[in-house]
Structure 1
Amino acid sequence: MRQNPARRTALLDAAIEVLAREGSRGLTLRAVDKEAGVPTGTASNYFAHRADMLGQVMARTRERLTPDPAELAGTMTAEPSHDLVRTLMRQVVDRMRRDRSSHLALLELRLEATRRPELHTELARFFGEELDANIGFHVGSGLPGDRTGLILLYLAMQGLIVDELTVPELLTPHRTGELIDAMVARLLPADGD
C-alpha cells in the first residue's frame, strides 16, 4: 500500500464526493480515481479493497466534520448555559451546510451497513465513539443536561440534519434556529424543571 498521505486524503475526499453524489453502488475504485483526477488504478494502490476504503472514508468524514479548534475555543469562552448549547447546535448545522457531502456520505454508509455485517460493526463502533465523545465533551464542559437528555438531543439533531440534507423545504417554514432552541429547552431542562 502506498503511503503518500496527501494523495490518500485526496482519494478519500473523492470517495466522499462519489458516495454523496452516486450512492454506495456508484462507489468503485475506478470512480474514485476519476473523481480525484488520477490515473486509473491509483486508488487500488492505496486501498486493499472497497471495504478498506469505506472504513477509511468514515475516519475522513470525522476529520472533515470536526469543528475548527480555534472556532470551538472561541465559542467555549462563553459561560456554560443553554444559550451556549444552542450556539453549538447551530454550529453543527452550519458545518453540515458547508460540508453536505460528508453528511450524505455517512447516510450512504449507514444504508450500506444494513447490507454488510462487517461494515455495520465498524459503523456502530464509529458512531458509538462519536456519541460518547460528544457526551464527554458536553458534560466535561459543564453544559446543562444529563446523558439521557444528550442522547435525545443527538437523535433530534440527527433527524433535523437528515431532513435538511434531503428535504430542506420541509423545515423552512419552521426555521431551523427556532427548532434548535425548542429542542434544547425541552430536552435539556434547567435544574428544577
Structure 2
Amino acid sequence: MARNPERRTALVDAAIEVLAREGARGLTFRAVDAQAGVPVGTASNYFTSRDDLFTQAGRRIHVRMTPDPAQVGEAMRAAPSRELVTELMRWLVRRMTAERTGYLAMLELRLEATRRPDLQAELNRAVRAALEESVRFHLDAGLPGDADTVLVLYLAMTGVLLEHFTLPDVLSGTELDRLVETVVSRIIPPSGPR
C-alpha cells in the first residue's frame, strides 16, 4: 500500500467530490483517479477496498468541515447571548453553503453508512465527538442554554441544512438568516436558560 500522505489526502478529497457529484454508486477507484487527475490504478494503491475508501472519506469530511480556530476566536469576541448563538448558527449555514460539496458528500456518506458497518462506526464516532465538543464549547463559552439546548440546535440546524441543500424549493421564499433567527429564538428564550 502506497504511503504518500499528501497523495492519500488528495485522493480522499477527490472521493468527496465524486460523492457529492455522483453519489455513492459513482464512487469507484477509476472515478477517484479521474477526479484527482492521477493515472488509472492510483487509488487502488492507497485503499484496500471500496469500503476503506468510504471510511477514509468519512474521516476526512469532518476535517474539511471543521472551522478554523482563528475564525472561531474571532466569532466569539461578542458577549455570550442568544444573539451570539444566532450569529454562530448563521455562520454555520454560511460555512456549510461554502463547503456545499462536503455537505452533500456527508449526506451521501450517512446514507451509505446504513449499509457499511465500518463507515457507520466511523461516522458515529466522528459525529458523536463533534457533538460532544459542541456541547463543551457552548457551556465553556457561557452561551445560554445547556447540553439539551445544543442537542436541539444541532437537530434543528441539521434539518434546515438538509432542506436547504436537497429540496431548496421547500424553503423558497424563506430567507435563511431569518429562519435561523426563528430557530434559535424558539429554542433559547430571551433571557437564556442556564
TM > 0.5 fold call: yes
Q: RMSD across aligned C-alpha pairs, in angstroms?
A: 1.5
Q: Is 1:86 aligned with 2:75? A: no
Q: Is the CA contact 1:19–1:26 (under 8 Å) kept in the aligned structure 2? A: yes
Distance 1:191 1:160, change over 3 A: closer
Residue aligning to 2:107: 107
Q: Distance in 2 between matches of 1:92 and 1:106?
A: 15
Gaps of 5+ in 1: none
Q: Is the CA contact 2:19–2:105 (under 8 Å) kept in the aligned structure 1? A: yes
Q: Distance in 1 between matches of 2:150 and 2:21?
A: 31
Residue aligning to 2:8: 8
Question: How far off its partner does 1:95 sit?
Answer: 1.0
Q: Which amino acid aligns with 1:46?
A: Y
The secondary structure found in structure 1 opposite 2:142 is: coil
Question: How far off its partner does 1:3 sit?
Answer: 2.3
Q: Distance in 2 between matches of 1:25 and 1:82?
A: 42
Question: How far off its partner does 1:192 sit?
Answer: 6.2
Residue aligning to 2:55: 55
Q: Is the CA contact 2:82–2:192 (under 8 Å) kept in the aligned structure 1? A: no
Question: How far off its partner does 1:5 sit?
Answer: 2.1
Residue aligning to 2:75: 75
TM-score, normalised by the number of residues in structure 2: 0.93
Question: How far off its partner does 1:31 sit?
Answer: 0.9
Q: Is the CA contact 1:150–1:187 (under 8 Å) kept in the aligned structure 2? A: no
Question: How far off its partner does 1:116 sit?
Answer: 2.2
Number of residues of Structure 1 aligned to a counterpart in Structure 2: 193
Structure 2 matches for 1:26-37, cutoff 5 A? 26-37=26-37
Question: How far off its partner does 1:88 sit?
Answer: 0.9
Distance 1:192 1:35, change over 3 A: closer
Question: How far off its partner does 1:127 sit?
Answer: 1.3
Gaps of 5+ in 2: none
Q: Deviations over 1:56-92 (max 9, x none)?
A: 1122111111112222111111111111111111111
Q: Is the CA contact 2:145–2:193 (under 8 Å) kept in the aligned structure 1? A: no
Question: How far off its partner does 1:119 sit?
Answer: 2.2
Distance 1:7 1:132, change over 3 A: same
Residue aligning to 1:181: 181
The secondary structure found in structure 1 opposite 2:145 is: coil
